[in-house]
């Protein structure tokens, strides 16, 4: 994949190099960089990814996404954006083929609907048709979504199918319903024979929400990659 494909929905400036540079992986953890990786320099409260530029170049990174001026060899492409954390969301989405655009709605939950017995979905996707499942939903009254409970009640056993879980909630902290909803979802998975390999909570009012999203995306990506390598 070329750098230009990863940046197609971002405003950026190419400080040096070429956006036609090929990219092998997208990383923000310097320890995971390999030959031809694109490394995103995330500036955090404690660690600044820009400080790892020499290390990732030595490991073979050929593209850097930065928000500060840096020095790099001429054979390294340097892309500058206003906010690298914001950019990472778009780059990651492009790298994985914009998965959110491929989602298909099979049912809608009314805000006053709390009884899973009264819910009907347009279809019930077969879990056996996929190698890995990602199940997600909103927190409802500090509990898992009734729609998810209904889906689990209809699909039967998952037969040790690997599964990733996450929930979204309005409140800023996981203990305000998110952890309990995730616990209920995990219990449903165990009851139906699924193998939960990762999970997380996104808090919509948390000031670090974007970091939560990117960290969860990276966690799920690493788990999915590891599972794929085991299959091969």
Same domain, 121 and 199: yes
Rounded Cα gap, residues 66 and 14, in angstroms: 10
Phi, psi angle pair for 218, to nearest 5°: -65, -40
Rg (CA), the chain: 20
Residue 59 scores a pLDDT above 50 = yes
Q: What is the pLDDT of residue 208?
A: 78
DSSP string, 106-157: -----TT---GGG---S----GGG-SSEEEEEE-BTTB--HHHHHHHHHH--
Residue 34 scores a pLDDT above 50 = yes
Of residues 102 and 47, which shows the higher confidence score? 47
Range of the domain at 70: 3-97
Same domain, 46 and 128: no
Same domain, 69 and 36: yes
What average pLDDT does the segment 80-101 reach?
Answer: 87
Q: What is the pLDDT of residue 108?
A: 60
Q: What is the pLDDT of residue 232?
A: 45
Same domain, 58 and 166: no
Instruction: Please report how the helices 146-155 and 178-191 are oriented relative to each other, as an axis angle in degrees rounded to 10.
Output: 10
Q: What is the pLDDT of residue 228?
A: 58
Same domain, 90 and 135: no
Total domain count for the chain?
2
Q: What is the pLDDT of residue 147?
A: 84
Nearest to 64 by CA among 17, 117, 122: 17
Quick count: other Cβ atoms within 10 Å of Cβ 224?
18
36: Cα separation from own chain's centroid: 22
Of residues 63 and 129, which shows the higher confidence score? 63
Of these ranges, 32-36, 171-175, 223-227, the one predicted with the greatest mean pLDDT is: 32-36
Nearest to 152 by CA among 124, 133, 179: 124
CATH number of the domain where residue 188 is located: 3.40.50.360
What average pLDDT does the segment 76-89 reach?
Answer: 93
Same domain, 208 and 108: yes
CB 134 within 8 A of CB 220: yes
Same domain, 114 and 65: no
Of residues 203 and 52, which shows the higher confidence score? 52
Instruction: For 155-169, write each residue's pLDDT tens digit.
Output: 888 888 899 999 998
């Amino acid at each position: 994949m070329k750098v230009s494909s990863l940046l197609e929905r971002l405003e950026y400036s190419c400080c040096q190099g070429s956006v036609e540079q090929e990219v092998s992986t997208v990383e923000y953890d310097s320890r995971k960089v390999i030959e031809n990786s694109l490394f995103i320099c995330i500036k955090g409260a404690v660690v600044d990814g820009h400080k790892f530029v020499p290390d990732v170049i030595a490991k073979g990174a050929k593209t850097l996404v930065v928000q500060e001026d840096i020095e790099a060899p001429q054979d390294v492409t340097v892309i500058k954006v206003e906010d690298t954390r914001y950019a990472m969301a778009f780059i990651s989405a492009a790298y994985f083929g914009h998965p959110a655009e491929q989602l298909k709605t099979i049912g809608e939950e009314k805000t006053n609907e709390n009884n899973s017995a009264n819910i009907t979905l347009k279809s019930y996707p077969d879990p056996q048709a996929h190698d890995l499942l990602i199940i997600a939903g909103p927190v409802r009254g500090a509990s898992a979504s009734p729609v998810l409970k209904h889906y689990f009640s209809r699909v039967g056993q998952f037969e040790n199918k690997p599964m990733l879980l996450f929930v979204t909630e309005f409140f800023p902290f996981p203990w305000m319903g998110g952890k309990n909803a995730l616990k209920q979802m995990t219990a449903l998975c165990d009851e139906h024979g699924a193998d939960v390999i990762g999970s997380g909570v996104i808090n919509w009012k948390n000031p670090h929400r974007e970091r939560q999203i990117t960290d969860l995306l990276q966690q799920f990506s690493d788990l999915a990659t590891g599972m794929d390598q085991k299959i091969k």
